[in-house]
Amino acid sequence: MGLLRNSLCALSLVAASASNAATLLEPTLHLKPQGAEGGGGRVALTLDACGGKTDTRILSALVDNRIPATIFVTGIWLKRNAEAVEIMRAHPDLFELENHGGRHIPAVDTPQKIYGIRSAGSPDAVQAEVQSGAAALAGAGGPAPKWFRGATAEYSPSAIAMIRRLGFKIAGFSVNGDGGSLLGAKETARRIGAAKDGDVIIAHINQPTHAAGEGVVQGLLALKRKGMTFVRLDDAEGIGNDGTTD
């Protein structure tokens, strides 16, 4: 009887875990399309700086080609990349720094792992992750962040509601440019180069040894050749689902 009870408890835990995982949301975000003809239009480039170092291939290409970008930075990355932050702050017309959390912890208020990363696990921990990220940006100078993107870009619905109450819009995306910086250069370039009017692109600027960084640059230059205009999130009206921007 005890064995049966233990088995039923184990099955209940598995079912509960599956139920929690099923409730996670990966919000989208689009810009209002301009309806331009001939391959024009506008897209928003968003780059996550989760931790580690800076991919100077991408940063240099953005500066040299005058491509605006919204950079989602963690407190961890800010501490380790003062030189890159200085470059970004020197080009306020190009770079908008936004909140990617204090310690790169998924904004999910139930205990679980997302892509191998342990979630915040409670409402208080989600709030701490958001607020510590904002505090890190305030300490680095510059405008207060208006947008938040959590680690893994997946959220529990209740966490989305909390983040909105804290005053942040949540940045989804419509084009996954580099697959978490794990794709090769060719596929990354293809995905980014195929972006259309109104798309919000996500890629990473913190993996200088990954081939994906080369593809990010190639894809962006391909869009520029097509006549695409790049905008930062604070310069355009972003429309997200799942209550992330309304």
Does position 6 have pLDDT exceeding 50, yes or no?
Answer: no
DSSP-derived secondary structure for 71-86: EEE-HHHHHH-HHHHH
pLDDT interval class at 20 (50, 70, 90): very low
What pLDDT is recorded for position 142?
A: 82
* Alpha helices for 140-203 (secondary structure H): 157-165, 185-193
The pLDDT of residue 5: 40
Condensed to tens digits (0 to 9), the pLDDT of residues 181-222 reads 999 999 999 999 999 999 999 999 999 999 999 999 999 999
Length of the chain equals: 246
The whole-angstrom separation of Cα 201 and Cα 92 is: 20
Residue 8 has pLDDT above 80, yes or no: no
Q: Any idea what DSSP says for residue 244?
A: S
pLDDT of residue 1: 45
Q: By the 8 A CB rule, do 69 and 47 touch?
A: yes
Distant-in-sequence, close-in-space partners of 195: CB < 8 Å, separation ≥ 6? 43, 175, 201, 219, 223, 228
pTM of the predicted structure, to 2 decimals? 0.90
What domains, with CATH codes, occur in the chain? 27-240 (3.20.20.370)
Helix (H) or strand (E) holding 128: helix 123-139
Q: Are 87 and 60 in contact (CB under 8 A)?
A: no
Please provide the average confidence, as pLDDT, over all residues in the chain: 91
Distance of CA 35 to the CA centre of its chain: 26
Model confidence over 23-63: pLDDT tens digits? Answer: 899 999 999 877 655 557 999 999 999 999 999 999 999 99
Q: What pLDDT score does 11 carry?
A: 34
State the Cα torsion 180-34-65-220 to the nearest 10°.
30
Q: Residue 122: phi, psi to the nearest 5?
A: -155, 160
CA dihedral sign of residues 190, 197, 61, 222: positive
pLDDT tens, residue by residue, 215-239: 999 999 999 999 999 999 999 989 9
Q: Mind listing the pLDDT tens digit for each residue in 54-108? A: 999 999 999 999 999 999 999 999 999 999 999 999 999 999 999 999 999 999 9
CA distances from 186 to 69, 207, 214, 233 (A): 21, 16, 9, 27
